[in-house]
Amino acid sequence: MKKIFRGVLIGLLILMCVLILGFLILFRPDEYGPISEVAIYYQPAPTPGSDLDFIEADAGISIPDSAREINAMISGFRELDTWVRLDIPANELKSFLENTHCRSDLVSTDPALHAPGDLDPDWWEPNKAEDLVECLGYVSNMRQYILVDRTKPNVFTVYVFSIVDDFSTPSSKD
């Protein structure tokens, strides 16, 4: 009887250790909770053969060759979140927007409404704009928020936040 009790006790201790270890692997005790993958990119200008293809595909945009100061962060566990900030010449904004999911006109928005959240990258600063406009778009399972800082008259800073939020939604065409 003692051998059975000891075997059961050892088995329970091993099971408890495995469960605790599994919990610690899946839920790290840091600010992000569940493990997620994060890729952070910075390029002062587009570079052929670079990570721009991944950024464009995940954000649902096309980055023009004239873009500068390209910052991107791709993160996700089940849903994929993509943050992109880039500077483009003001006269290229219309063609940039034609290659996004936004189909409505840009409308003015209060920069204070776009303060960075706790998980946003440190270069995500649309709240510092003096003249900020926005466009929202949706296609298939992607939502896209585009903010344009028009503070500098010749160079606009474009912020794109895209999220893949529902894998069960059937695909649809634009």
Q: Which helix (H) or strand (E) holds 103?
A: none
Q: What is the pLDDT of residue 48?
A: 66
Percent of the chain at pLDDT > 90 equals 47
The three-state secondary structure class of 154 is coil
pLDDT tens string 123-148: 999 999 999 999 999 888 889 999 99
Using alpha carbons only, give the angle 146, 152, 156 rounded to the nearest 5 degrees: 30
The whole model's pTM is what? 0.74
pLDDT of 31 above 60: no
Task: Please list the residues that pair with 88 across neighbouring strands.
Answer: 156
Q: What is the pLDDT of residue 18?
A: 73
Q: What is the pLDDT of residue 174?
A: 43
pLDDT tens string 65-112: 999 999 999 887 777 889 999 999 999 999 999 999 988 899 999 999
Question: Do 83 and 121 touch, CB atoms closer than 8 A?
Answer: yes
Radius of gyration of the chain (CA): 22
Phi first, then psi, for residue 20 (nearest 5°) are -65, -45
Residues 6+ apart with CB under 8 A from 34: 26, 27, 28, 77
CA end-to-end distance (rounded Å), the chain:
71
pLDDT of 32 above 50: no
